[in-house]
């Protein structure tokens, strides 16, 4: 048993938060799109593009922060292309996502091999990993300091993005308009909201966030690019957005859950001798379970709504009957 | 009547055809970026994907062999899509079917044809069972089948890696693999030295069976109606839930069969890296093939030829990374999805056709 409990350490807490970051960024992007009523299933491809473009830009610019910026721009542009194809040519969003996914998986490796030779993964000693930041004051608080301090800028940005999204969505007009578009597009358009602009904006922002999430993988966490590096995190992010009912705080917590599932599986591989392939199942199984929970949750909500409606109906009937009796 | 049929056929073929051409144009652009010879690249791609070097030594035969699992996983996707289930779980069902086939291939011993038959039925059952999971989750709980099947695909890929590395591992060679299956379980090939054989025949039969099922049987009709419009189907007394689950069972069985054929006909075992995205190729061939069995058949051969040409032609002879093949396939799917891009052109072409036919019939210009 001792071996098993040695899994739980402060490092585990830290790595859970780190591994949650790419999922959180992409999931926030997914939530923005869901709120705006455009199904963004292409998060995976945007992440992968961000991972690749980020590290290549960091190499050529000689500056990893510049790489992050370029990754965000690349993700945003892909989002813009997505919006253009969706609005102009009415392309089915699901097939569009699958096509983009396929293109980016292959194209990134194609370009990598074309530029850097026939390699399976690529890195360069000149590339600097995004440095971790120790927050003054907070880092000195025992335990909490260890958990809250010592991450790189992307992690803090993802927390900031969660807060900003909360404020914009629930305290500002633009956010309310966005949610109105998601709720009922034609109704929003009749009151003069530019639905297409808002949906395009949502796709661009979501692409930028997912791109940054991808760059976190290639220059924030590791320092290399490999084939299909995002490894399904974009899809997990979609589940996280659904699990968190598209609310920033909910999405944050859901992403943490997935981050910990990921960190846990890495940690178990290090300290126990369970077959690594079986332990790697953990994040996927967790996602599947979460999908089932989401399904159960909506079934229960539906059942409750039905019961409420019936009760209301019965009350009204009783009222009518009482009126008649009078 | 005949005109209408022709028009329908034309509509079905034009968009994929234009998409393939556009994909080839994108390929040209990428090759120019690499500063490689453009026309030589096209020639290499096609001669190495579809050509014959000499009599009896055709690469096209290899393309047909490689197309076999893609045809079956493509059919699997067709059946699922036609019931309104956007399942991309073919990869996972294919892998588990292959694992079952590899295990039964050496674990039980039966007379020749029977052994292969038992393996195929078992693999189909395993695939169907794995297809049933997202089906029932969708119907009962409304779980998004796309996400569920993606997760199930990753799970299957990890399970197969685990199986070949631990319980089913044959020896301690560098690449982990399972023991070779019995001779009685192996499928026959048509030509010595090639692996194109009985499996391809089974795939062709499957194309016919799926076509017949979807368009000439009552359950198939119900399934297509439920896929097109849930409410209409309900109005006609068809439970779209039942037909969705049935579709997922059939879809899983077809993908499982693909896995069994790949094991019994080609690899004779499973090994690390067995999953090379064949399930995904099936999915894309279903999209490009207009979600029709015959379309899948044609596109699967085209795709396997393109991949082969990219792999042995472009990569080995010209040093162009073989990922170009996959990239082009992705672009082709994108162009199919954006079929409206071509609408203007298609309308004009149709005008031209009908006008020409008009003059021929009436003998005067319109």
Tens-digit pLDDT profile for residues B5-27: 777 777 778 888 889 999 999 99
| Alpha-carbon gap, residue A227 to A215, rounded angstroms | 14
| Encoded tokens for B291 | 């979600």
Joined tokens for residue B346: 């298609």
Residues A155 and A184 in one domain: yes
A89 and A101 fall within a common domain: yes
Contacts of B148 in chain A (CB under 8 A): 288, 291
User: Residue A295: which of B86, B143, B338 has the nearest Cβ?
Assistant: B143
Among A323, A184, A162, A187, which Cα is nearest to A254's?
A162
Angle between helices B90-107 and B240-261 (to 10 degrees): 50
**Residue B216: half-sphere exposure toward Cβ, Cα within 13 Å:** 5
Q: Which residues pair with A132 in a beta bridge?
A: A152
pLDDT at B171: 78
**Tens digits of residue pLDDT in B235-247:** 777 778 888 999 9
- In this structure, the answer to whether residues A173 and A263 fall within a common structural domain is yes
Helix (H, G, I), strand (E, B) or coil at A51: helix
Residues B349/B338, Cβ–Cβ less than 8 Å: no
What percentage of chain B exceeds 90 in pLDDT? 39
Place of tokens 């090939």: B189
* Secondary structure class of B55 (helix, strand, coil): coil
Could you tell me if A214 and A300 lie in one domain? no
**Closest partner CB to B327 (pick from A94, A106, A118):** A106
Provide the domain limits for residue A308: 280-326
Cβ-count burial A277-308 (b if 16+ within 10 Å, e if not): bbbbbbbbebbbebbeebbeeeeeeeeeeeee
**pLDDT > 50? residue B365:** no
Average pLDDT for residues B151-161, to the nearest whole number? 92
How many other CB atoms are there within 10 angstroms of residue A28's CB atom?
A: 29
SS (H, E, C) B135-155: HHHHHHHCCCHHHHHHHHHHH
A38 and A183 in contact (C-beta within 8 Å)? no
Domain with A210 in it: what CATH number? 1.10.3470
Q: How confident is the model at residue B176 (pLDDT cuts 50, 70, 90)?
A: confident
Query: For helices B59-81 and B90-107, what crossing angle results, to 10°?
Result: 120
Instruction: Judge if A160 and A217 occupy the same domain.
Output: yes
Residues of chain A found within 8 Å of residue B161, distances taken between Cβ atoms = 277
Q: How would DSSP label each residue in A229-246?
A: TTTTHHHHHHHHHHHTTT
User: For position B98, what pLDDT does the model report?
Assistant: 95
- Show which of residues 34-63 on chain A sit within 8 Å of chain B, judged by CB atoms: 41
d(CA A99, CA B329): 9
Residues of B in contact with A118 (CB under 8 A): 321
pLDDT (tens digit, 9 = 90+) per residue, B270-291?
988 787 778 788 988 998 898 9
Q: Are residues A307 and A205 in the same domain?
A: no
Sign of CA dihedral A272, A277, A283, A285: negative
Put simply, whether B125 touches A (Cβ < 8 Å) is: no
- Sequence-distant (≥ 6) Cβ neighbours of residue B310 within 8 angstroms: B45, B49, B320, B322, B323, B324, B325, B326, B328
A279 to chain B, closest Cα gap in Å: 9
Asked whether residue A255 falls in the same domain as residue A322, the answer is no
End-to-end CA distance of chain B: 21
| Cβ atoms < 10 Å from Cβ of B302 | 22
Instruction: Give this complex's ipTM.
Output: 0.86
Structure tokens at B76: 């699997």
Contact assessment for residue A18 and residue A158, using Cβ atoms and an 8 Å cutoff: no
pLDDT at A246: 92
Report d(CA A151, CA A139) in Å as an integer. 11
Residues of A in contact with B331 (CB under 8 A): 99, 103
Q: What is the SS3 assignment for B84?
A: coil
CB contact under 8 Å between A291 and B137, yes or no, is yes
Residues A292 and A194 in one domain: no
A87 touches chain B (CB under 8 A): no
What are phi and psi for residue B57, nearest 5 degrees? -125, 70
Region of B152 (left: φ > 0; alpha: ψ -120 to 50; beta: rest) is alpha
Task: Output the pTM of the full model.
Answer: 0.88
In this structure, how many other beta carbons lie within 10 angstroms of the beta carbon of residue B32?
Answer: 12
In a shared domain, residues A64 and A158: yes
Judged by CB atoms closer than 8 Å, whether chains meet at B284 and A90 is answered as: no
Residue B169's SS3 state is coil
| Residue scoring higher pLDDT (B254 or A94) | B254
Min distance A281 CA to chain B CA atoms (Å) = 6
Judged by a CB distance cut-off of 8 A, whether residue B151 touches chain A is yes
For B121-125, B314-318, B347-351, which range has the lowest pLDDT when averaged over its residues? B347-351
Q: Is B346 on the interface with A (CB under 8 A)?
A: no
Q: B169 pLDDT band (50/70/90 cuts)?
A: confident
Q: How many interface pairs between A and B have CB atoms less than 8 angstroms apart? A: 125
Angle between helix axes A281-325 and A248-271 (nearest 10 degrees) is: 150
What total number of domains does chain A contain? Answer: 2
Answer yes or no: is pLDDT of B362 > 50.
no
Contacts of B95 (CB under 8 A, 6+ apart): B153, B156, B157, B159, B160, B259, B274, B275, B279
Is some CB atom of chain A closer than 8 A to the CB atom of B357? no
| Burial letters B33-58, b for 16+ CB under 10 A, else e | ebebeeeebbebbeebbbbeeeeeeb
B30 in reach of chain A (CB within 8 A): yes
Closest-approach residue (CA) in chain B for A118: B321
For position B364, what pLDDT does the model report? 41
Q: Walk along chain A (326 residues) and give the pLDDT tens digit of each residue.
A: 445 566 677 888 889 999 999 999 999 999 999 999 988 888 999 999 999 999 999 999 999 999 999 999 999 999 999 999 988 888 888 888 888 988 999 999 999 988 888 778 888 888 888 888 888 888 888 888 888 888 999 999 999 999 999 999 999 988 899 899 988 888 888 888 889 999 999 999 999 999 999 999 999 988 899 988 988 899 999 999 999 999 999 999 999 999 999 898 888 888 878 888 888 888 899 999 999 999 999 999 999 999 999 999 999 999 999 888 87
Domain limits, chain B: 69-292
């Amino acid at each position: 048993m001792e071996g098993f409990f040695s899994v739980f350490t402060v490092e585990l807490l830290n790595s859970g938060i780190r591994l949650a970051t790419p999922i959180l960024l992409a999931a926030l992007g997914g939530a923005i799109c869901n709120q705006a009523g455009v199904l963004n299933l292409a998060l995976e491809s945007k992440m992968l593009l961000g991972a690749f473009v980020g590290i290549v830009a960091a190499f050529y610019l000689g500056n990893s922060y510049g790489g992050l910026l370029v990754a965000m721009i690349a993700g945003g542009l892909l989002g813009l292309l997505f919006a253009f194809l969706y609005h102009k040519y009415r392309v089915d969003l699901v097939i569009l996502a699958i096509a983009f996914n396929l293109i980016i998986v292959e194209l990134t490796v194609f370009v990598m091999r074309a530029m850097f030779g026939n390699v399976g993964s690529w890195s360069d000693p000149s590339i600097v990993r995004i440095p971790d930041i120790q927050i003054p004051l907070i880092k000195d608080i025992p335990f909490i300091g260890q958990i809250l301090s010592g991450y790189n800028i992307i992690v803090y940005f993802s927390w900031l993005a969660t807060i900003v999204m909360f404020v914009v969505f629930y305290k500002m007009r633009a956010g309310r308009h966005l949610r109105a578009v998601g709720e009922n597009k034609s109704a929003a358009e009749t009151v003069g909201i530019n639905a297409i602009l808002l949906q395009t904006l949502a796709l661009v922002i979501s692409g930028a966030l997912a791109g940054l999430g991808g760059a976190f993988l290639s220059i924030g966490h590791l320092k290399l690019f490999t084939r299909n590096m995002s490894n399904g995190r974009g899809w997990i992010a979609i589940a996280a957005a659904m699990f968190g009912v598209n609310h920033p705080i909910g999405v944050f917590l859901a992403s943490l859950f997935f981050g910990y599932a990921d960190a846990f599986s890495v940690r178990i591989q290090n300290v126990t001798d369970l077959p690594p392939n079986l332990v790697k199942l953990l994040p996927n199984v967790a996602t599947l379970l979460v999908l089932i929970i989401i399904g159960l949750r909506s079934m229960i909500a539906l059942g409750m709504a039905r019961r409420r409606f019936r009760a209301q109906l019965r009350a009204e009937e009783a009222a009518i009957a009482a009126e008649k009796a009078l | 009547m005949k005109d209408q049929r022709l028009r329908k056929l034309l509509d079905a073929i034009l968009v994929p055809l234009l998409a393939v051409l556009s994909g080839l144009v994108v390929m040209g652009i990428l090759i120019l970026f690499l500063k490689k010879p453009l026309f030589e690249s096209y020639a290499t791609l096609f001669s190495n994907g579809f050509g014959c070097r000499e009599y009896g030594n055709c690469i096209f035969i290899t393309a047909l062999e490689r197309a076999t699992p893609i045809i079956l996983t493509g059919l699997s996707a067709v059946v699922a899509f036609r019931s309104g289930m956007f399942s991309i779980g073919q990869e996972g069902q294919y892998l588990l079917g292959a694992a079952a086939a590899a295990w039964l291939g050496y674990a039980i011993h039966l007379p020749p044809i029977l052994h292969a038959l038992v393996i195929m039925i078992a693999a189909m059952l395993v695939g169907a069972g794995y297809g049933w999971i997202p089906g029932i989750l969708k119907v009962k709980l409304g779980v998004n089948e796309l996400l569920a099947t993606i997760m199930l695909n990753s799970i299957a890929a990890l399970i197969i890696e685990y199986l070949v590395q631990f319980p089913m591992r044959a020896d301690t060679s560098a690449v982990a693999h399972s023991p070779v299956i019995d001779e009685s379980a192996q499928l026959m090939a048509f030509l010595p030295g090639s692996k194109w054989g009985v499996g391809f025949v089974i795939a062709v039969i499957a194309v016919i069976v799926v076509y017949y099922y979807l368009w000439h049987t009552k359950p198939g009709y119900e399934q297509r109606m439920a896929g097109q419009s849930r409410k209409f189907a309900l109005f006609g007394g068809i439970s779209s839930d039942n037909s969705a689950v049935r579709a997922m069972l059939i879809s899983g069985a077809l993908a499982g069969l693909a896995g069994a054929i790949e094991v019994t006909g080609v690899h004779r075992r499973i090994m690390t890296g067995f999953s090379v995205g064949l399930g995904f190729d099936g999915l894309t061939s279903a999209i490009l093939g207009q979600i029709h069995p015959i379309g899948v058949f044609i596109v699967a051969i085209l795709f396997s030829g393109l991949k082969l040409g990219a792999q042995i032609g472009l990569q080995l002879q010209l040093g162009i990374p073989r990922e170009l093949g996959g990239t082009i396939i992705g672009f082709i799917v994108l162009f199919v999805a954006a079929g409206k891009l071509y609408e203007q052109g298609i309308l004009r072409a149709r005008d031209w056709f009908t006008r020409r036919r008009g003059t021929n019939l009436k003998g005067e210009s319109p």
